[in-house]
Amino acid sequence: MDFTVKEHSSAELQETVTENNTAIKYASGTAPVYATPALVALMEHAAVVAVHDQLPEGCSTVGIMMNIKHTSATPIGMTVTAKAVLVEQDRRKLTFKIEGFDEAGSVGEAVHERFIIESAPFVEKAQAKLKK
């Protein structure tokens, strides 16, 4: 399975901060601000979207590493944006640089790696754990 994803492929996704994605709701803190796990999920989803349409039939990507800095709190009512850009491809390993920001400026940054997999065998291998 050798193919190349378009260099600098990117995607930008947004999410409004509500009570459902705060640190309180995620149990990752006690402040009514955008949760770090929510930021991670938004950033990861942006990376997925950046390359998904370029993958061969029956393939997908899975996250294998996320190195994130969440540098500024975002209160309920504001919108958080994550912009993922593909910065490197090493065979089936994809590396993304991701920036997070709200209306007031930067809220974080990350380096995220994803691996291109064949979906059916990957799921079969995971399901086989249930039979052990």
pLDDT, tens digit (0-9, with 9 covering 90-100), for 11-43? 999 999 999 999 999 999 999 999 999 999 999
C-alpha closest to that of 113 among 95, 90, 97 = 95
User: Does residue 111 have a pLDDT over 70?
Assistant: yes
C-alpha closest to that of 117 among 48, 70, 27 = 48
Per-residue confidence at 96, pLDDT binned at 50, 70, 90? very high
As a whole number of angstroms, the distance between CA 111 and CA 127 comes to 29
Phi, psi of 94, rounded to the nearest 5 degrees: -115, 135
Q: Whole-model pTM above 0.85?
A: yes
Per-residue confidence at 3, pLDDT binned at 50, 70, 90? confident
Q: Residue 1's pLDDT is what?
A: 63
CATH class of the domain whose range is 10-131 = alpha beta
Q: Residue 39's pLDDT is what?
A: 98
- Domain segments of the chain: what residues? 10-131
% of the chain beyond a pLDDT of 90: 95
Inter-residue contact 98 to 84 (CB < 8 Å): yes
User: HSE-up of 128 (CA within 13 Å, CB side)?
Assistant: 6
Phi, psi of 100, rounded to the nearest 5 degrees: -115, 140
Q: Residue 76's pLDDT is what?
A: 98
Q: Which bin fits 105, alpha (ψ -120 to 50), beta or left (φ > 0)?
A: left
Inter-residue contact 56 to 1 (CB < 8 Å): yes
pLDDT digits (tens, 9 = 90+) for 63-93: 999 999 999 999 999 999 999 999 999 999 9
